[in-house]
Amino acid sequence: MDGMTDEARWLDDTERRAWMSLLAVVLVGFPELERTFRPHGLVHVEYGLLAALSDAGEGLRLSDLAGVMNMSPSRLSHRMRKLVDLGYVEISGDACDGRVSIARVTDAGREFAASVAPAHVADVRRLIFDHLDPAQTEALADALGAIAGKLGESCPGAAGAPKGPPVPGTRAM
C-alpha cells in the first residue's frame, strides 16, 4: 500500500481500543518503569545493556550488542561510556581480532544489576502482569510476539529475529 493512492483502512473499535491501550502502556507505563533506575543515574536502556551483558557471561562484541539492543553504534557508544564511567562495564580488545571490542560486565555491574532487578521485576508485575489472568498473559505474549517477530525482520534485536547473541535481560530484566 503506497498511502497516496489507496484509501486509508481505518481502525475498527477493537483495533482503536488496542492501539490506545498500547499507547498508554508506552507513554505512561515505560516512564513509570524508569523510576527504578533514576536514583542510580541510569535509564532503562542502560539497565538493559547491563542485563544483556550479565546474561552473556564472557561478554559480547559491541557490534553484536548493538544488534541485540537495536541500537546504532554511536548510541551504543554513548550509553556504554556511561556504564564504563560508573565501573559497571569494561571494554577490551579481542585477543584474536584487534579490530573487535568486547564489552563485559564487571563485578560491580553484576552486583548493581542484581540489586536493582527485584525492584524492576516488581514494577513490571505491578504495571502489567498483576492486571492480567494467565490466559490474558498468554494472549498478550502471543500478540506481542507476532508483532515483534515482524519487527525482527528489520530490527535484529527484536524477538523473532534470526538467532544471534542471547536476548538481553531474560533473567535480570
pTM of the model: 0.74
The whole-number pLDDT of residue 170 equals 45
95 — pLDDT class (breaks 50, 70, 90): low
Q: Locate cell 581480532: which residue?
A: 97
pLDDT above 80 for 35: yes
Mean pLDDT of all residues in 79-108: 87
The whole-number pLDDT of residue 101 equals 87
pLDDT tens digits for range 110-164 = 999 999 999 999 999 999 999 999 999 999 999 999 998 888 665 544 444 433 3
The whole-number pLDDT of residue 47 equals 93
Q: Which three cell numbers stand for residue 69?
A: 539492543
Q: Locate cell 502489567: which residue?
A: 128
pLDDT above 50 for 2: yes
Q: What is the chain's percent helix, strand, coil content, to nearest 5?
A: 60, 5, 35
Query: Domain map of the chain by residue range?
Result: 33-151
CA 50 – CA 106 distance, rounded (Å): 10
Q: Which three cell numbers stand for residue 93?
A: 580488545
CA 92 – CA 60 distance, rounded (Å): 10
Quick check: 71 and 62 in contact, CB under 8 A? no
pLDDT above 60 for 67: yes
pLDDT above 50 for 76: yes
pLDDT tens digits for range 5-21 = 578 999 999 999 999 99
Quick check: 123 and 35 in contact, CB under 8 A? yes
* Measured torsion, CA atoms of residues 26, 151, 122, 52, in degrees rounded to the nearest 10: -130
Of all residues in the chain, what percent carry a pLDDT higher than 90?
56
Q: Which three cell numbers stand for residue 167?
A: 536476548
CA-closest candidate to residue 168, choices 65, 71, 90, 92: 65
CATH classification number, 33-151, choose in 3.90.1150.10, 3.20.20.450, 1.10.10.10, 3.50.50.60: 1.10.10.10
CA-closest candidate to residue 144, choices 133, 131, 128, 130: 128
The torsion angles phi and psi of 61, rounded to 5 degrees, stand at -65, 140
Q: In what order do the strands lie in the sheet with 60-61?
A: 60-61, 101-105, 89-93
